[in-house]
Amino acid sequence: MSPTISTLSSTRLSKLSLLLLLFLLPFSLLVSSSTASFFSFIFVGCSQYKYSPGSPYENGIDSVLTSFVSSSASSSYNNFSFPGPTPSDTIYGLYQCRGDLAVADCSICVSRAVSQVGTLCAGSSGGTLQLEGCLVRYDNSTFLGALDKTVLLRRCGPLVGNANSDELTRGDAVLGYIGAGDGSYKPYRTGVSGSVQVVAQCVQDLSAGDCQDCLTEAIGRLKSDCGAAKWGDVYLAKCFVQYSDGDHTSGGHGTSDEEVEKTVVILIGVIVGVAVVILFLSLMATMCERARGGK
């Protein structure tokens, strides 16, 4: 009888494990679909200067990157400096998440960015990596608190084929609203007018005046370079501006793609739900049959 008992327990455990997996699958899909866009890659830049493996400088980089990950569990921005044996060995670093990113997602984003920059910039004395939802940067130069309007990335979507004066006016109005400074410190800014949406943010090591200066420069470049495009992004070293007409995003995915993604997730959830019911009924029938056979 013991082999029968063993086989029954193993089968029951296997089916219960599969049941739990199928039950959790649709929820994991929903979570990933709602946050995946924040983890998409934007750009990376690595210093041309290299450090020696095993040197104090390498230990400093490890310390900075580890601090990014641990700090992001509770804060969406922080900066660090780790002194080395010489001034050139001092490591400066910062990370920052988008203002609309929850702390939990910020931590995931920073962890992914740290993993990628550690690989892509391996051996380099400095690295900057931008994901959609977060930025990480480290170097042995004292960039903290310094205004830098160097263009790191500019990309524009297709021109609006049937743009009218109202659409262009709304776009100018939202960009004007985002770029308006009232003297207060607003590193993260959003604006919407009809189908037009704008997101802008400067790195929080900047003063209010330098933040305003950086965003003004980024908005000016966006308007001059992208004109009447469907969408456009301008990333400067210390700020960025993203513009879209509501039907297109900077990633080039329209709302139709988003609806398809949602539909696929819903369909998967329904299919998995049906599979769970069938598996549960099958499991109950098997247990009842074995229970009757044991009498």
Q: Among 119-133, 156-170, 217-231, 278-292, name the most confident range.
A: 119-133
As assigned by CATH, the class of the 41-139 domain is: alpha beta
- pLDDT recorded at residue 194: 85
Judged against a pLDDT cut of 60, whether residue 261 lies above it is answered with no
Q: Span 27-40, mean pLDDT?
A: 60
Instruction: Write down the pTM of the prediction.
Output: 0.73
Domain ranges of the chain: 2-34+255-294, 41-139, 148-244
SS3 string of the chain? CHHHHHHHHHHHHHHHHHHHHHHHHHHHHHHHHHHHHHHCEEEEEECCCECCCCCHHHHHHHHHHHHHHHHCCCCCEEEEEECCCCHHHCEEEEEEECCCCCHHHHHHHHHHHHHHHHHHCCCECCEEEEECCEEEEEECCCCCCCCCCCEEEEEECCECCCCCHHHHHHHHHHHHHHHCCCCCCCCEEEEEECCEEEEEEECCCCCHHHHHHHHHHHHHHHHHHHCCECEEEEEECCEEEEEECCCECCCCCEHHHHHHHHHHHHHHHHHHHHHHHHHHHHHHHHHHHHHHHHC
- pLDDT recorded at residue 163: 56
Judged against a pLDDT cut of 50, whether residue 238 lies above it is answered with yes
The string of pLDDT tens digits covering residues 84-117 is 888 889 999 999 999 999 999 999 999 999 999 9
The label of the residue with tokens 């704008």 reads: 198
- pLDDT recorded at residue 184: 82
Please state the length of the chain.
Answer: 295
Judged against a pLDDT cut of 70, whether residue 82 lies above it is answered with yes
Q: Span 113-131, mean pLDDT?
A: 97
Q: Span 251-258, mean pLDDT?
A: 39
User: Measuring CA to CA, which residue among 203, 205, 199 is closest to residue 222?
Assistant: 199
- pLDDT recorded at residue 27: 39
- pLDDT recorded at residue 291: 64
Judged against a pLDDT cut of 70, whether residue 39 lies above it is answered with yes
Average pLDDT in the chain: 79
Q: Give dist(CA 244, CA 229) in Å, integer.
A: 8
Residue 233 pairs in a beta bridge with: 155, 242
Judged against a pLDDT cut of 70, whether residue 251 lies above it is answered with no
Q: Hey, do 41-139 and 148-244 end up sharing a CATH topology, with the first three levels equal?
A: yes
Annotation: CATH topology of 148-244: Killer Toxin P4; Chain A (3.30.430)
Judged against a pLDDT cut of 60, whether residue 267 lies above it is answered with no
